[in-house]
């Protein structure tokens, strides 16, 4: 049965003051700009991009041309910006499972508000873990974490729970959150705000896509979760409806992409900026297809009003590799359910 979810709309309570953002992926970078544009980070926001993230340079270059007033970017670097900075009101991150971010938080938060931005389905998984009655180490579901890494993640669970009780933990998301999950998160003191890519909706469309079928690539094969052969065969089967525009995931291998590019009707696009930015110009008559992915939720917000259908393809049992646990399979498949609720 589908779970009741609250609508993903902007119900903002504007904040004032200064924020520092640690963005480790292009999606987190876009999420930070959206959150600032919605008034949820303050009047001044400094975004620190992680310098070695794939696609970060192109996204940064695109966003720098037209960011909202009050946003500026620091030079890309590998070091996490310090949290205990005088005059800072909130410290913002996208990946609560990041060891770098966890280590900085555990050095001490002072009186700062801690903000967590969208980082894909991991954001919903984080909410589900934080509302559990028993402590749970905040480590990535598919990570082979060491004892010390689990200890760090467990310490952060306790810290975020304490910050929630003090009303100093804010999560900002564009994803649909099940009503019961939101109620439980608010019950522990957490704050939840939403955006619907309103700022992005005011920006000009910069890329024309003509293929009738658009596929958003998956990293599941590259990550060793599914078999590559049936995945590639599925993409090739979509050419029955005409040319396919294939937008790779940043972790897909060159070898895998070369196999797709060898098909005369598959046009493999260069990896540049997040697909939320690239696919905004799609129109009725075009269809987006993807394996279970965060983009199914985010693109519904962006393309739904344009009448562009999004079709998620469930992963057949025969595709999964033996090492992929049932819990991880359910988590990765959760975006096919409009609730987006991770198992």
pLDDT digits (tens, 9 = 90+) for 203-233: 888 899 999 999 999 999 999 999 999 999 9
pLDDT band at 8, cuts 50/70/90?
very low
Is the pLDDT at 103 greater than 80, yes or no? yes
Question: What pLDDT score does 10 carry?
Answer: 45
pLDDT band at 143, cuts 50/70/90?
low
Mean pLDDT along residues 56-67: 88
pLDDT band at 262, cuts 50/70/90?
very high
pLDDT digits (tens, 9 = 90+) for 269-313: 998 889 999 999 999 999 999 998 888 888 998 998 889 999 999
Is the pLDDT at 247 greater than 50, yes or no? yes
pLDDT digits (tens, 9 = 90+) for 20-32: 999 999 999 999 9
Is the pLDDT at 192 greater than 80, yes or no? yes
SS3 for the chain is CCCCECCCCCCCCCCCCEEEEEECCHHHHHHHHHHHHCCCCCCEEEEEEECCCCCHHHHHHHHHCCCCCCEEECCCECCCCCCCCCCCCEEEECCCCCHHHHHHHCCCCCCCEEEECCECHHHHHHHHHHCCCCCCCCCCCCCCCCHHHHHHHHHHHHHHHHHHHCCCEEEEECCCCEHHHHHHHHHCCCEEEECCCHHHHCCCCCCCCCCCEEEECCCCCCCCCECHHHHHHHHHHHHHHCCEEEECCCCCCHHHHHHHHCCCCEEECCCCCCHHHHCCCCCCCCEEEECCCHHHHHHHHHHHHHCCCEEECCCCHHHECCCCCHHHHHHHHHHHCCCCCCC
Q: What's the predicted TM-score (pTM) here?
A: 0.86
pLDDT digits (tens, 9 = 90+) for 35-47: 999 999 999 999 9
Question: What pLDDT score does 227 carry?
Answer: 97
Is the pLDDT at 339 greater than 50, yes or no? no
Task: Specify the higher pLDDT residue, 121 or 135.
Answer: 135
Is the pLDDT at 63 greater than 80, yes or no? yes
């Amino acid at each position: 049965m589908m779970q009741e979810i609250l609508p993903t709309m902007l119900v903002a309570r504007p904040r004032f003051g200064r924020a520092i953002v640690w963005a480790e992926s292009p999606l987190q970078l876009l999420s930070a700009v959206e959150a600032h544009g919605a008034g949820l980070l303050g009047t001044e926001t400094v975004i620190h991009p992680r310098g070695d993230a794939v696609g970060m340079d192109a996204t940064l270059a695109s966003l720098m041309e037209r960011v909202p007033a009050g946003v500026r970017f620091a030079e890309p670097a590998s070091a996490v910006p310090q949290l205990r900075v005088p005059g800072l009101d909130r410290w913002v991150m996208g990946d609560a499972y990041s060891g770098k971010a966890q280590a900085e938080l555990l050095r001490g938060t002072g009186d700062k508000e801690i903000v967590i931005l969208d980082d894909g389905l991991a954001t919903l998984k984080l909410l589900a873990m934080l509302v559990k009655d028993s402590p749970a180490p905040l480590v990535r579901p598919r990570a082979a974490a060491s004892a010390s890494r689990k200890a760090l993640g467990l310490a952060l669970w306790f810290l975020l729970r304490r910050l929630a009780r003090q009303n100093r933990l804010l999560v900002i998301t564009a994803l649909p959150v099940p009503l019961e999950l939101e109620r439980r998160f608010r019950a522990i003191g957490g704050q939840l705000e939403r955006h619907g890519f309103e700022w992005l909706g005011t920006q000009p469309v910069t890329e024309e896509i003509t293929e009738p079928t658009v596929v958003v690539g998956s990293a599941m094969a590259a990550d060793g979760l599914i078999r590559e052969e049936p995945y590639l065969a599925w993409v090739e089967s979509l050419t029955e409806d005409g040319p396919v525009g294939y937008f790779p995931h940043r972790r897909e291998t060159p070898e895998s992409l070369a196999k797709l590019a060898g098909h005369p009707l598959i046009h493999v696009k260069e990896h540049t900026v997040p697909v939320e930015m690239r696919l905004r110009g799609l129109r009725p008559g075009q269809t987006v297809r993807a394996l279970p992915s965060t983009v199914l939720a985010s693109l519904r917000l962006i393309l739904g009003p344009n009448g562009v259908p999004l079709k998620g393809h469930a992963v057949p049992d025969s595709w999964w590799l033996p090492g992929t646990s049932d819990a991880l399979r359910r988590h990765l498949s959760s975006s096919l359910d409009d609730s987006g609720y991770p198992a």
